[in-house]
Structure 1
């Protein structure tokens, strides 16, 4: 694409059609001009991330489906982004990072990984294409070839991801201009990063995106303390491992720089580095990298570490539990999972005291490692241990992260996409996450099976609109608007994903000596059976005499030998009949009401809540300074409280949006669930009560002062 051409032009045109076709959102769309850019959440798209493509063309279709980390994940994310935009068209700013390539040798990459590891990745990528042409695996034997792959364009994808990260950080700290600084950003990139260690890849991850984000924010904008909140299904062992390096402990790995191998005391520790990072994760202890039957004792210990403000470490891990009803889950969330926020609050409070004692400025940031593979919509083969979260979780967790950021970081939150491998999980998860990122309410109808199913139809490369639709089928009409918006977000979808179907069809009919590859493989297997020679022996001896087939058969043999559980699963959106569709009149009516019920007043009120917390904290600090200088003048800058208890600040530039519309959908809960509003969590180790906060409380409360490789897909190698 030309650098001069706006990559979002197609999206803008499609968005105009969406507004024209949906009169009920026109007022909300027009309100975009009344809401300052600073009040919107920015969404960063990364077209270059599509260039990381599975390159082993000789493998069977069934094996290719085991490669779940694929470019199509960005298309599914775009569907979720589009769904959020259709609900709140005035609250999001879309930005493409098409003109920004980062560097694998940038200081913020070297600080995390050293120089040896990026150099090794670059070398392997440059050599990948020639190895593939020779029918060889492009990754070292010590890597899990079922999880990680490379091609020469992977370098471009990694540079593009770094550029997208930099764009996201710039947007929340600098912006195009002072009046266009957004406090909240979501960066949709791939491959994920939280399993990547200092000098070792793992679980689809080649660079640790979260820590690169942190270093860039520290180097460029002076961030001193960061909380990482990780809700991916899998433990972010790489991100946590880098926290140990930051604390001054000697890192492990095959590609560690000399600088990271010297200067340690007898206990392999030296002075801790800034920025200081606290890692707070909720995950399934029985999934990668702690899968039963494959996990090492060290990995299980790492995924269960809980330590606060000791040895320069702040790490807290919570394990996911099973639940039966959504009420059960909400109780779990309030009593167990919210502990992460109490611990993060503790980390920030200690950080402020530490910096004050040293006479140094404190500057915080909340980073969310947003993996959506814990979703109720993720494939069962990924969630082999029957623990997950409902879609509404992603809104709840994100809104709690906003509260944490308001208390300690002036509202600065950046979310980096991690896992999530089925179209439904990614689309619904991103949708709910973005609703939470703007402090709005998630409506359970939006996450119903039928609604999500309709949206992910757009992930099919050969998607076509329905030829006919019922006039009152609101869900299908809305879903097709979402699909058109999502598919128009990144022009490169056309070349990488939508044309892939044609490439596959051509590959099926490609011949070798008059035979297709599949025909030749089938005949070779039959010949092997007739002679009594095992298929594996024939592969090793290269008796098939087909350049690319032996490697494929060897990989499949290893997958079956180690019982890799993805071989038969189907994660792509294949064409399916519409015979099972049943029109749900009541769901359509309810869904329509949820959309029409969104009012400008309510949107504004939720956004003001975020601003009020920050401004009150700033005003209180200012009041303290003024009182110390002139006690009689303090009242002039205090906030006033109206009769209904809502605070309005006299001195700030509030963006209450004028509107004659009424507020309904927040006055009456559309989820109609009654949950206890206060809980305590008894920690198993010290039996200390940690008070948690309810949904109406804006504050965090804490009463505490204080290697073997495994494969993400479940096999060994």
Structure 2
């Protein structure tokens, strides 16, 4: 039997579930949620093997290489944090058995035939050059941002496999009941700077456009809206949109033109499916439009706004400075949300054109998809060397933006959303950004305590290769105890962390011991333990809990982490640490019973049954009845447990911070406008050649 790549994670998760009664109680709700309603997270172990290979450089130079395998470890911490809050709403998949060719049709349609061949050749030649102390990339490339080795080819094949797995997961599952609407693909290197045949800004293949072609080839997706919130303009993604519109790329490498669709005298030919709209918010002063070094062409490209003309739909918005949460919320409502209005316009026009010109459109029915280019380098936690111009977004932004993307997708794409990881380079930015993004991907609310500096600081401790748990903790320090649970889950998520990042014999030994522990008494491997989904493990742990209650004479060895009796002694390993009692109290309240109360709210607010275009009216009526019944069932008291400790009953201020009882009274008397947009239409907020490197150096 092939070992399950998620085995180690699930063994660790089983311990977490059994130790936490608030998670065990979620089993009552987990059984009510169909697998199709869960968000799929795609892990890409092969992406780790793209490693900076120049061994002769100094340590100081190595520190400037921010696109590194550790980015996946930081992402895993964010994933683990989201799972601890909502274990019944996520499923993990590993693309460990999926390596795809750079010569796949969906890659060649984006990059032509020459670029993949060139990239393959350079990767294969890189090792010999490196052995001789030579730079392995061509002289006209930015060697400060881009590096190659033979393992880079493995990483790229693995990333392509993960992308395909992500698309398959939302259009074709093991069964109709296992097709989710939402998937997050965690890969590296990023892709949105890569042009048709020119790498840039860490990017070697344009992951988003490859996903689009794959979705078109395999699932007949005709229209895609790409929403890009990376700090940097996705110049490569935008340029390929011009190619899709029929314009000849500047770096075109196609051997020959199609006989039935040649370029005219102005280097334009007919556009073909799939049609793509690109909608980006970014810092106009950062790469590839770095202040003092940007060309006028790059600045124009990063500022392009054109809709429904010449087969183009492109809209760019520049990030602005803000100083308070209220200022940012106003910015988001009046400026940044315009992207969704433009994407909505793109889809509406596409539907009209498809219906009006059915013959010209080869009788293709409209089929839409929303793709998020999920870069987290605009985060308030990103390192200053990357975020040099002091424009950023609060962590909550990633939840709000993602929830708006869900609304857009529900309006036009039957809820289908594919998110692909782009930038984000500090551990703090990636961890907190992924955490908030996944909360939004399941239509839940972000709680500001989760993104506090202290919480993020505790989680990212797990990104250290030689991480060790605290020997002692304050017994009421819920944050540190919870963070260590998250760290254990995150570090166990991808076994290849041991080979690439940890390189620890102790970890490998522990892995073998846990494999041995997974054996049943008769020495046979417990397959059911390995293959269970997250929600199934929650349910099994709940069954165990009931058994404990039946037999009072059985002594329970595991102690819930909220109730661990730990030493009050402080260690010198963190001398600047100050225990925040109030933050720990409010953080504790945010996780108590959350999986019961908010799961039921999830079922009420996020449509689970989509009406198919090819069903008749009676079928649609039946589906509507079933959908209404399911929503009523979720709120009729079957498992929605009213409690003054659940998060929905905690009053919050405008910034989603929990208020004490006295503060609640004061807040009621002096109420200010709350920016809850859940019932507001996104359309109502619309107001009518030198380069720097992405990592900050110069060419």
State if a TM-score over 0.5 links the two structures. Answer: yes
Instruction: Indicate the TM-score class for this superposition, using the shorter chain for normalisation.
Output: 0.7 to 0.9
Q: How much has 1:207 moved relative to structure 2?
A: 0.1
Q: Among residues 367, 379, 383, which one is paired with 1:379 in the alignment?
A: 383
The answer as to whether partners of 1:637 and 1:650 remain within 8 angstroms in 2 is: no
Call closer, same or farther: CA 1:639–1:111 in 2, change over 3 Å: closer
Paired position in structure 1 for 2:648: 666
1:195-225, CA deviations, whole angstroms, 9 ceiling, x for partnerless residues?
0000000000000000001110110000000
- Whole-Å Cα distance in 1 between the matches of residues 275 and 505 of structure 2? 47
Residues 372 and 87 (structure 1 numbering): CA distance in 2 closer, same or farther, change over 3 Å?
Answer: same
- Secondary structure at the residue paired with 1:274? coil
Q: After TM superposition, give the deviation of residue 175 of structure 1 in Å.
A: 1.0
Which residue does 1:354 correspond to in 2? 353
- Supply the distance in 1 between the matched residues of 2:312 and 2:651 (Cα, whole angstroms): 41
1:328-367 per-position Cα deviation (integer Å, ceiling 9, x unaligned) = 1011000100000000000000010011112230000000
Shift of 1:501: 12
| Structure 2 residue aligned with 1:20 | 18
1:63 to 1:77, Cα distance in 2 relative to 1, 3 A: same
- In 2, the alpha carbon distance for the partners of 1:216 and 1:655 equals 36
Query: Is 1:580 matched with 2:576?
Result: yes
| Match for residue 431 of structure 2 among 407, 427, 447 | 427
- Tell me if structure 1 keeps the 8 A contact 2:428–2:456: yes
Q: Is the 8 A contact 2:377 2:429 kept in 1?
A: yes
Report the alpha carbon displacement of residue 636 of structure 1 after superposing the two structures with TM. Answer: 6.4
Alignment of 1:511-660 (within 5 A): 577-611=573-607, 615=610, 618=611, 626=617, 649=628, 658-660=638-640
**1:92 & 1:363 partners in 2: Cα distance?**
25
Q: Residues of 1 paired with 2:630 and 2:458: CA distance?
A: 47
The offset of 1:322, in angstroms, is 0.4
Change (3 A) 1:704 1:594: closer
Matched, 1:439 2:422: no
SS in 2 for 1:120: helix
Q: Distance in 2 between matches of 1:23 and 1:668?
A: 20
**CA shift for structure 1 position 176:** 1.5
Alignment correspondent of 2:693: 711
Which sections of structure 2, spanning at least 5 residues, go unmatched? 359-363, 507-571, 656-670
1:471 aligns with 2:454: no
The secondary structure found in structure 2 opposite 1:365 is: strand
Which whole-Å CA distance do the structure 1 matches of 2:372 and 2:456 have between them?
24
Runs ≥4 residues deviating over 6 A: 633-636, 651-657, 702-705
SS at match of 1:259: coil
Contact 1:608 1:654 in 2 (8 A): no
The superposition leaves residues 470-525 of structure 1 with CA deviations (integer Å, 9 ceiling, x where unpaired) of 111000000000000000000000010012899xxxxxxxxxxxxxxxxxxxxxxx
Q: Distance in 2 between matches of 1:715 and 1:188?
A: 27
Aligned partner of residue 666 in structure 1, secondary structure: helix
Alignment partners' CA distance in 2, 1:141 and 1:410: 47
- In structure 1, the partner of 2:283 is 284
CA–CA distance in structure 2, aligned partners of residues 708 and 260 of structure 1: 35
CA distance in 2, matches of 1:236, 1:137: 27
Q: Cα–Cα, structure 1 residues 327 and 271, in superposed 2: closer, same or farther, change >3 Å?
A: same
In structure 2, the residue matched to 1:511 is none
Instruction: Give the total of aligned pairs.
Output: 610
Q: Residue 43 of structure 1 contacts residue 94 of structure 1 at CA under 8 Å; is this kept in 2?
A: yes
- Following superposition, the deviation at residue 710 of structure 1 comes to 4.2
Quote the offset at 1:714 in angstroms.
3.2
- 2:661 is aligned to none
Does residue 457 of structure 2 align to residue 453 of structure 1? yes
In structure 2, the partner of 1:96 is: 94
* Post-superposition offset of 1:380: 0.9
Contact 1:601 1:662 in 2 (8 A): yes
Query: What is the alpha-carbon distance in structure 1 between the residues aligned to residue 692 and residue 114 of structure 2?
Result: 23
Residue 161 of structure 2 aligns to a residue in which SS?
helix
Change (3 A) 1:123 1:675: farther
Q: Structure 1, unaligned stretches of length 5 or more?
A: 503-575, 627-632, 641-646, 679-692
Q: CA deviation at 1:654?
A: 7.3
- Judge conservation of contact 2:382–2:428 (CA < 8 Å) in 1: yes
Alignment of 1:493 with 2:473, yes or no, is no
Contact 1:191 1:206 in 2 (8 A): yes
Could you tell me which residue of structure 2 aligns to residue 190 of structure 1? 188
Report what 1:111 is aligned to.
109
Further displaced range: 259-268 or 219-228: 259-268
Tell me if structure 2 keeps the 8 A contact 1:250–1:268.
yes
Deviation at 1:697, TM superposition (A): 3.4
Structure 1 pair 493–173 and aligned structure 2 pair: CA distance change class (3 A): same
Distance 1:32 1:99 in 2: 29
Structure 1 residue 411 corresponds to structure 2 residue 415: yes
Contact 1:200 1:255 in 2 (8 A): no
Provide the residue aligned with 2:680 in structure 1. 697
The structural deviation recorded for 1:699 is 6.4
- Alignment match, 1:267: 266
Which of the pair has the greater relative contact order for Cα pairs under 8 Å at 6+ separation?
Answer: 2
1:278 touches 1:344 (CA, 8 Å); kept in 2? yes
Alignment of 1:66-77 (within 5 A): 66-77=64-75
SS in 1 for 2:93: strand
The alignment status of 1:240 with 2:238, answered yes or no, reads yes
Q: 1:428 offset after TM fit, Å? A: 0.2
Contact preservation (8 Å) 1:100, 1:163: yes
- Asked whether the equivalents of residues 168 and 414 of structure 1 are also in contact (C-alpha less than 8 Å), the reply is yes
Matched, 1:87 2:85: yes
Aligned twin of 2:137: 139
Deviation at 1:701, TM superposition (A): 5.7
CA distance 1:289–1:125, shift in 2 (3 Å): same
Out of 41, 45, 48, which is 2:46 matched to? 48
C-alpha distance in 2 between matches for 1:364 and 1:136: 47
> Aligned-pair distance for 1:672?
3.6
CA positional deviation for 1:407 = 0.4
Aligned pairs (5 A) from 1:206-355: 206-253=204-251, 255-259=253-257, 263-355=262-354
Residue 160 of structure 1 is matched in structure 2 by 158
Q: Is the 8 A contact 2:85 2:595 kept in 1?
A: no
Q: In 1, distance between residues paired with 2:292 and 2:333?
A: 32
Residue 114 of structure 1: how far off its partner (Å): 0.7
**Shift of the alpha carbon at 1:651?**
9.3
Give the match for residue 123 of structure 2.
125
Aligned in 2, Cα 1:636/1:76: closer, same or farther, shift over 3 Å?
closer
Residue pair 2:338, 2:685 contacting (<8 A) in 1 also? no
Matched, 1:388 2:392: yes
Aligned partner of 1:60 in structure 2 is 58
RMSD, matched Cα: 2.7
Q: Report if the CA contact (8 A) 1:404-1:700 is conserved.
A: no
Distance 1:715 1:128 in 2: 23
Q: Is the CA contact 1:55–1:149 (under 8 Å) kept in the aligned structure 2?
A: yes
Once residues 638 and 496 of structure 1 are traced to their aligned partners in structure 2, the CA distance between those partners, rounded to angstroms, is: 49
Secondary structure of 1:279's counterpart equals strand
Q: Indicate if the aligned counterparts of 1:41 and 1:185 stay in contact, CA closer than 8 A.
A: yes
Contact in 1 for aligned 2:333/2:685 (Cα 8 Å): no
2:178 alignment partner in structure 1: 180
Give TM-score scaled by structure 1 length.
0.81
Structure-2-length-normalised TM-score: 0.83
